A = this chain, B = another copy of it.
Amino acid sequence: MKRTTPGETGLSRIVKVLEAFDKGKSTLTPAEIVRRTGLPAASTYRLVNELIDVGFLDKSDGGVQTGVRLWELASRESKTLSLRNTALPFMEDLQDAIRQHTQLSVMDGTDILYIERLSAPDAVVNITRIAGRLPAVVASPGLVMAAFGNRELQEAILAAELPQYTRFTPSTTADFRRIFAEIRRQGYARMDGWIDEGVSGIAMPVRDAEGDVIAALSVLLPNDGKTPRMALPAVQIAAAGISRALGWSPSHH
């Protein structure tokens, strides 16, 4: 008898349980976890208790939530948190200047993952959230990281579905290849009305000491022509500030 089959190891069950916390659900009952994961009930209840014991889950009114101890282990000495700490003061300055969503993202596979966001109360519509992800192809930080990434990454991103949100969304891989080249030439990505006709996204690359693009700084602005054009230098300066704080210098490259 096989001890485990792929997708049924203890670790993959832990991942499934943690993945169940999604779509605004910060508290789940064990029964909801069973339903959302499709795992066997008895062993899932046992696993939930084990996860509580080690602090990966915390008991909560009416169920369990992801644990503060898990957050601590994931955050302590984390490069993600370190990048975010370096970026935060520059993001605050940018947010002060433009009074709109200011976001920091990294790539994970072909998705972008938002690791920080500062928002103004009256800012434009935004479909993202911190620790949320989107396919790289539908957001300006994904485009800028793809454009400055290697050909392999670009092809993987373009192999995914190309959702059509508005009449301005590019619809063919040829469109995107042309856009990648344009982004490399101009040094930033700008998406006017691609996701929502009223919203424009601008993203700039964030570089580490070796000059590699490791993150993207982005803003969402009203798609009124003049606001995105006026905001460009501010976003550029803030992104360069983060890169410099990470050890990057234009003279080295």
Contact = CB atoms under 8 A, between A and B. Distances in A.
Interface of A: 9-12, 14-15, 18-19, 21-22, 24-26, 50-51, 54-56, 58, 60, 65-66, 68-82, 85, 88, 92, 106, 108, 113, 115, 118, 130-133
Given A24-B77, A85-B130, A130-B85, A72 B113 contact: yes
A11 B108 contact: no
Contact of A131 (B24, B26, B75): B75
Contacts of A10: 10-11
Contacts of A65: 77-79
Q: Copies of this chain, how many? A: 2
A237 to B, nearest CB: 19
A78 B118 CA distance: 17
A77 B108 contact: no
A223 to B, nearest CB: 26
B74 A66 contact: yes
A69 B35 CA distance: 23
